[in-house]
């Protein structure tokens, strides 16, 4: 998928991973540019420091998003919805799931300790601003209230 930027300039990636995770589910996210890669995981605490890792890329260059969800718990998790999306948002938050996505992908499947789901897509962010790239994985039943979430922020100038 290719979206053309409305305004030329540069983009900066700032890492921010959310710590909440469903029992057994682990979400990981990787955002790459032609020169740099940033990673986030639902297993790592958030990094929202302005002095954190920053990647500068021309607005004309694509962002490649890779996500993965796996179950590391002892019990299977039924009907897991894995939803990866890019939205205009000042910071990755649970509220950004309500915004209209620039691009999104999703799947639903049952997980046990041997299952892994993953996906990859490329996107060109359409306009200057701040965007959130997130993967959220949430099962049904007891796992429904605590999703595994990993996120990266993208600043486009």
**Which pLDDT tens digit goes with each residue over 92-144?**
556 555 678 888 999 999 998 889 999 999 988 777 777 788 899 998 865 56
In 91-147, at which residue ranges do the beta strands (DSSP E only) sit? 101-111, 116-123, 129-138
Rounded Cα distance between 31 and 71, Å, is 22
Structural domain harbouring 33: 10-156
Buried b (16+ CB within 10 A) or exposed e, 13-29: bbbbbbeebbebbbbbb
Determine, yes or no, domain membership for 139: yes
Flag whether 17 is in a domain. Answer: yes
The answer to whether residue 39 sits within a structural domain is yes
| Residue pLDDT, tens place only, 59-92 | 767 889 999 999 988 888 889 999 999 888 765 5
CA end-to-end distance (rounded Å), the chain: 21
3 within some domain: no
- Residue 150 maps to which CATH number? 2.60.40
- Count of structural domains, the chain: 1
């Amino acid at each position: 998928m290719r979206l053309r930027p409305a305004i030329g300039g540069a983009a900066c990636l700032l890492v921010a991973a959310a710590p909440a995770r469903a029992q057994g589910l682990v979400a990981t996210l990787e955002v790459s540019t032609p020169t740099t890669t940033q990673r986030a995981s639902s297993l790592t605490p958030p990094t929202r420091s302005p002095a954190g890792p920053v990647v500068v890329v021309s607005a004309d260059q694509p962002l490649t998003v890779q996500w993965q969800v796996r179950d590391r718990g002892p019990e299977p998790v039924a009907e897991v919805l894995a939803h990866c999306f890019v939205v205009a948002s000042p910071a990755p938050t649970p509220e950004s799931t309500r915004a209209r996505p620039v691009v999104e992908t999703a799947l639903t499947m049952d997980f046990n300790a041997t299952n892994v789901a993953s996906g990859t897509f490329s996107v060109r962010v359409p306009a200057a601003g701040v965007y959130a790239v997130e993967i959220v994985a949430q099962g049904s039943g007891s796992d429904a209230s605590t999703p595994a979430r990993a996120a990266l922020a993208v600043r486009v100038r």
